[in-house]
Structures are given as structure tokens and as C-alpha cells.
């Protein structure tokens, strides 16, 4: 560890934002677009690789950032579709080690219509397909795609990663940045950091990049892969669990990890997931380095916190990065 860095200091890399703005997207080319789910599932999730070589984005996208995709066509008001952001799923040097090919994790949005406004037909439950996710999932190798970005300057790996240990917590496609981060830290980095990945999905078949993480855990002693499956009964009869249930159940592992001032916590996925995590951490007195409580939560028992209270009353520190939607 260099002399002027304490374990608590988190130095993030400089970022270049908006190199390719919406008004001037670059043209990327699809390299591959393959399913990345463990098994047959009601969801469809693809690992999409895009060649950006020769464009201003080449070599300038960092793991943890996002890029934008502009779907062709217009919306119901006749306006061009708005840009949609997708988390980068590869290391900062890309899929190819040279920053020429970037990737993301794309889940098809497939749902029934539900009335949103007073003017909407309450009986219309016809099929709804998300515009950009389905556009992206339908693309084939060789197809062109308009890419913008990069976006994001905080959900990043620190510059001195060997000064830190890491707990990554994902639900669903929130796994995207952690694929790139795990590859960067474990496969292309040092062995100085302990890295724990905690992944939550409805069913085992919904696990994303499971073969990669299983391999990394088998090949690298410092990489640990934990899964929380919410809708399956465990073989010992235990009900399904969320990521914070697993955190609590394995306190003998996670208490020492989170109590260590080297550790950084990254949370990515569903909007509701951070409240359970913060509640469990507060109940076990291991939240201090990661968040502080504003006045409205002072004196309220963590078991009584609800999501809106957590959103308003918890302030994360520099050791806790949260990206949830």
C-alpha cells in the first residue's frame, strides 16, 4: 500500500463523460449476441458485444460506467426514441483487451400493458414489448448500432484496487458491471483483494454468467461466488431467499469482510434491494463505514425501516456505491 493511502481512502479514476453525445452517436457493430442465462427461463437475457473500434469511444469506457443505445424509429408522439442506458459488462480494456469491443447484459422487457394514466383503456392488457431492449436483443453479428456515452463517474473500481476487498451484490441484470469488475480484478489483476459476489435471481435457471463465476471461484482462491434464489425451496427445506437474507445467514463470512476498513460495497439491481441490505448491516453493527443515518432515521429500529425511509434517510459513504433502478 502506498504511504499516503489509508485503507479507508477510495480513489476513483478520472472519467471522460459524453464523448459520444446523443446528438453525435458513434456507429458500433454487433460482434455477438448470445443468451447468458444458466438454463431455460421465462426471461430472455443476452450478452451483447459491440465493436466500437475506430470511433471516439474506443478505449475510453470504464467498467462500472454505462453506454447509451439509440433505437431506430419514433415513439407514440412521433419523436425519436430516447436514449436507453446499459451497464458495461466487460473490463475497462474491453472484451478484447484493447478497448475495441464493449459489452452489456440485455434483458428483453416483455409485459402486459397496465393503465398508467386516466386516459388509458383500463381493459387493455395486450402484450407490451420494450423498445430498446428488444431491438438490442434482436440484433445479429454484423448489424450496426448507434452508441452514446460513456455515462457515470462514481460506480467505478478504485484506482488502487489491491488496497481494497470487495463485496458485490446484484439482483438480476444488476450483475452486468460485476462481470467486468470480477474479470478485471481476478483474471487480469492481482491476488491481493478478497472478492465476494452475491447474486440474487428468482430461479436457478435465471442465474446470469453462472459458468463464468463458477469457473472464477474454482480457479481463484480470492474470488467467492454466492447465490440467493428467491422462488425455490432450498434442499434443506428452507424457503427461497433474497440477497440480504443470505448476507445475514452467512455473517461468519460477511461480518469480518464488511468490518474490515479495506472493504468496498457495490450494490446493483432492483430499486428495493438496498433497504434489506442496509437493515441487516445496521442490525449487525457493520453499516458504519458504508452509510450514515439522517435525522429522520435516528432512533428508529432498523427492523422498522421501510424503503422510502431508507431512500430519504440513509446517506452512503465513499465506501458504498449503489446503482439501482
Does the protein bind ligand NAP through residue 212 (CB under 6 A)?
Answer: no
Q: What order of strands is seen across the sheet that includes strand 195-201?
A: 223-229, 195-201, 165-171, 263-269, 320-324
Secondary structure in 3-state letters for 208-248: ECHHHHHHHHHHCCCEEEEEEECCCCCCCCCCCCCHHHHHH
Contacts with ligand NAP: how many residues (CB under 6 A)? Answer: 26
Residue with the shortest CB distance to ligand NAP? 172
Stretch that binds ligand NAP, among 29-37, 51-59, 199-207, 248-256 (CB under 6 A): 199-207
Query: Nearest-CA neighbor of 224 among 245, 194, 244, 200?
Result: 194
Does the protein bind ligand NAP through residue 174 (CB under 6 A)?
Answer: yes
Kind plus residue range of the DSSP H or E element containing 193 = none
Q: How far apart are CA 93 and CA 102, in angstroms?
A: 8
Stretch that binds ligand NAP, among 88-96, 247-255, 268-276, 292-300 (CB under 6 A): 268-276
Does the protein bind ligand NAP through residue 324 (CB under 6 A)?
Answer: yes
Query: Nearest-CA neighbor of 149 among 226, 61, 28?
Result: 61
Residue entry with cell 453479428: 141
Does the protein bind ligand NAP through residue 180 (CB under 6 A)?
Answer: no
By C-beta, is 200 or 262 nearer to ligand NAP? 200
Cis ω for the linkage preceding 150 (within 30 of 0): yes
Contact code string over 110-149 relative to ligand NAP, x by CB under 6 A = ----------------------------------------
By C-beta, is 39 or 141 nearer to ligand NAP? 39
**Going by C-beta distance under 8 Å and a sequence separation of 6 or more, which residues neighbour residue 134?**
108, 109, 110
Q: Judge whether 191 and 169 are in contact, CB under 8 Å.
A: no
Residue entry with cell 386516459: 119
Does the protein bind ligand NAP through residue 243 (CB under 6 A)?
Answer: yes
Q: How far apart are CA 252 and CA 230, in angstroms?
A: 22
Near ligand NAP by CB under 6 A: residue from 176, 185, 258, 280: 176
Stretch that binds ligand NAP, among 125-133, 159-167, 289-297, 317-325 (CB under 6 A): 317-325
Burial 290-318 (b: 16+ CB within 10 A, else e): bbebeeebeeeebeebeeebbeebbebee
Does the protein bind ligand NAP through residue 206 (CB under 6 A)?
Answer: yes
Near ligand NAP by CB under 6 A: residue from 230, 260, 316, 317: 230
Does the protein bind ligand NAP through residue 323 (CB under 6 A)?
Answer: yes
Does the protein bind ligand NAP through residue 68 (CB under 6 A)?
Answer: no
CA distances from 141 to 29, 30, 35, 158, 176 (A): 7, 5, 14, 33, 20
By C-beta, is 7 or 202 nearer to ligand NAP? 202
Contact code string over 29-48 relative to ligand NAP, x by CB under 6 A = --------------x-----
Q: Judge whether 45 and 133 are in contact, CB under 8 Å.
A: no
Half-sphere exposure of 235 (CA within 13 A, CB side): 1
Does the protein bind ligand NAP through residue 272 (CB under 6 A)?
Answer: yes
Near ligand NAP by CB under 6 A: residue from 94, 99, 276, 313: 276
Stretch that binds ligand NAP, among 94-102, 189-197, 210-218, 270-278 (CB under 6 A): 270-278
Binding-site ranges for ligand NAP (CB under 6 A): 43, 66, 87, 107, 171-174, 176, 200-202, 206, 230-231, 242-243, 268-270, 272-273, 276, 323-325
Amino acid at each position: 500500500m502506498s504511504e499516503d493511502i489509508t485503507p479507508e481512502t477510495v480513489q476513483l479514476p478520472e472519467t471522460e463523460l459524453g464523448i459520444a453525445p446523443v446528438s453525435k452517436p458513434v456507429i458500433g457493430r454487433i460482434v455477438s449476441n448470445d443468451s447468458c442465462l444458466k438454463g431455460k427461463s421465462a426471461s430472455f437475457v443476452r450478452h451483447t458485444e459491440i465493436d466500437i473500434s475506430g470511433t471516439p469511444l474506443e478505449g475510453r469506457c470504464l467498467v462500472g460506467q454505462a453506454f447509451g443505445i439509440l433505437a431506430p424509429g419514433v415513439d407514440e408522439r412521433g419523436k425519436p426514441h430516447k436514449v436507453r442506458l446499459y451497464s458495461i459488462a466487460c473490463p475497462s480494456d474491453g472484451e478484447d483487451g484493447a478497448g475495441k469491443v464493449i459489452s452489456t447484459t440485455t434483458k428483453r422487457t416483455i409485459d402486459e400493458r397496465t393503465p398508467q394514466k386516466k386516459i388509458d383503456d383500463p381493459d387493455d392488457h395486450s402484450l407490451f414489448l420494450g423498445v430498446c431492449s428488444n431491438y438490442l436483443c434482436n440484433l445479429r453479428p454484423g448489424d450496426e448500432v448507434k452508441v452514446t456515452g460513456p455515462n457515470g463517474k462514481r460506480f467505478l473500481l478504485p484506482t488502487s484496487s489491491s488496497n481494497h476487498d470487495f463485496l458485490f451484490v446484484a439482483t438480476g441484470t444488476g450483475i452486468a458491471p460485476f462481470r467486468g469488475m470480477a474479470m478485471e480484478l481476478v483474471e487480469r489483476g492481482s491476488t491481493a483483494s478478497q472478492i465476494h459476489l452475491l447474486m440474487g435471481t428468482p430461479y436457478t435457471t435465471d442465474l446470469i454468467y453462472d459458468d463464468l463465476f463458477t469457473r472464477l471461484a474454482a480457479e481463484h482462491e480470492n474470488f467467492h461466488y454466492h447465490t440467493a434464489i428467491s422462488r425455490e425451496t432450498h434442499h434443506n427445506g428452507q424457503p427461497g431467499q433474497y440477497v440480504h437474507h443470505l448476507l445475514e445467514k452467512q455473517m461468519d463470512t460477511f461480518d469480518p469482510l464488511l468490518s474490515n476498513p479495506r472493504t468496498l460495497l457495490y450494490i446493483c439491481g432492483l430499486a428495493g434491494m438496498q433497504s434489506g441490505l442496509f437493515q441487516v448491516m445496521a442490525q449487525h453493527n457493520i453499516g458504519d463505514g458504508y452509510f450514515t443515518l439522517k435525522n429522520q432515521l435516528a432512533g428508529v429500529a432498523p427492523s422498522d425501516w421501510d424503503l422510502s425511509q431508507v431512500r430519504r434517510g440513509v446517506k452512503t459513504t465513499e465506501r458504498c456505491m449503489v446503482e439501482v433502478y
